[in-house]
Amino acid sequence: MFRFIILIIVVIYLIGHFGLDSDSSDTKDKREDQVKKDIKRDMKKNHPEKYAKKQREKGAEMTVMRKCHNAEKERANYPATIDRSWLNQTSKTKDDGRRVFYEEFTAKNGNGVKMQFAAVCVYKPDADTFAAQIKRR
């Protein structure tokens, strides 16, 4: 009986010390999604210029990435063999509005040997111009 009481005291202490998380992970995900929606709605309502700018930048980032991937496919001997390294991708916006995208990938050459390549792509949204430079590493 004494051991049982000590065990209950220890369990109560541990629950108090570490706490119990009564929310399931699904509930947490829903709550986080709602917070993100609230932030987005607030940004859209109270700061429409900043929201519009952020959306344009997001669109330009996706455009440069998509155009860069298309350029890689066009220049590869075997486009189906392209394997992108998602860890070695960077995208930056320069002061003049240009979007610069860098990516490393592998693809098979004409002999079927896998080679490493690096692509640097530049997109100017205001002039809608795009340039890609792809080199072997």
- Give the span between the Cα atoms of 64 and 99, in whole angstroms: 7
Count CB neighbours of 6 within 10 A.
10
Higher pLDDT, 131 or 60: 131
Across residues 12-28, what is the average pLDDT? 66
Contact 131, 122 (CB under 8 A): yes
Identify residue 9 by its one-letter amino acid code: I
Average pLDDT, the chain: 83
Q: What is the pLDDT of residues 84-104, one digit of tens each?
A: 978 889 988 888 888 899 999
Residue 33: its pLDDT value, please? 83
pTM score of the predicted model: 0.58
- Please state which of the ranges 7-11, 40-44, 72-76, 116-120 shows the lowest mean pLDDT: 40-44
- Token digits of residue 22: 């009564």
Residue 20 has pLDDT above 70, yes or no: no
